Structure 1
Amino acid sequence: MNCLAPALLAVGVLWSTSSQALDAEQRRAEALLQQMCAQCHAVGRSGTSPNELAPPFRNLGENKLYDPDFLQRLQDGYSSIHRFMPTARFGRDDAEGVVSYLRAIQELRKPK
């Protein structure tokens, strides 16, 4: 049994990290968002946004990411209601990657 414990531990670690690993499309989208958005937003799974008015991308919430129009808005030119955010426009493949990446990094909401 003592020989089996390290193997089970290794399998558990690999299992838990593989579910959090990003695929190639998501890594490409993360790099794109770092280039286009990180001046104001926290783009990854941790960190604070450089601009306190810009929400971290990991906290966008399901309502936006699962909105059927969000993908199209990314392609048409997504802009915010505030005047300082530049319009971001993505090709279809990049927009799909961005949505996939954003879904992958969302923090679970704590129950109230």
Structure 2
Amino acid sequence: MRASILATLLLSSLPALLPVAAQALDARAQRGATIARTHCARCHAVGRVGGSPLAEAPPFRLLHRRYPVSDLGEALAEGITTGHPTMPEFRLDPDEAQALIAYLATLER
């Protein structure tokens, strides 16, 4: 019985332990994951685990603790700028912004 309980606990926690890419993402969120890996992973941790390569860059899985990621669409489309010089300004088209937001939302779970 103990083995059964342990197996159940391990299987139920498995999705949280797997990288997001290994889990099923809808097409929009998958596109957002690709955008994050392509444009953001140089500085930010873009998955469910790990630290950011650049210490000042917050991991994407924690962004929802700072502000609702659903509100980032306009900022992503108009160009993100920050107060530190290492963050490049970049712009996404509205579809790309919504895809990245869909991906960020998967990290909240």
TM-score, L = length of structure 2: 0.73
Aligned to 2:97: 95
Instruction: Tell me how many residue pairs correspond in the alignment.
Output: 92
2:34 is the counterpart of 1:23? no
2:62 is the counterpart of 1:59? yes
- SS of 1:60's partner is helix
Equivalent residue runs for 1:1-112 within 5 Å? 21-61=24-64, 63-67=67-71, 70-106=72-108
2-structure distance, mates of 1:22, 1:46 = 17
Largest Rg, 1 or 2: 1
Fraction of identical pairs, as percent = 38
Q: Does structure 2 conserve the Cα–Cα contact (< 8 Å) formed by 1:57 and 1:106?
A: no
- SS of 1:85's partner is coil
Relative contact order (C-alpha < 8 Å, sep 6+): which is higher?
Answer: 2
Q: Does structure 2 conserve the Cα–Cα contact (< 8 Å) formed by 1:45 and 1:106?
A: no
1-structure distance, mates of 2:96, 2:30 = 11
Select the structure that is richer in helix. 2
Q: CA RMSD for the aligned pairs?
A: 2.3
Task: Detail structure 1 runs of 4+ shifted over 6 Å in the superposition.
Answer: none
CA deviation after TM superposition for structure 1 residue 64, in Å? 3.8
2-structure distance, mates of 1:79, 1:64 = 18
TM-score, L = length of structure 1: 0.71
- SS of 2:106's partner is helix
Q: 1:80 to 1:101 in 2, by over 3 A?
A: same
2-structure distance, mates of 1:66, 1:99 = 6
CA deviation profile, 1:52-87 (whole Å, cap 9, x unmatched): 1111000002524143xx211100111222111001
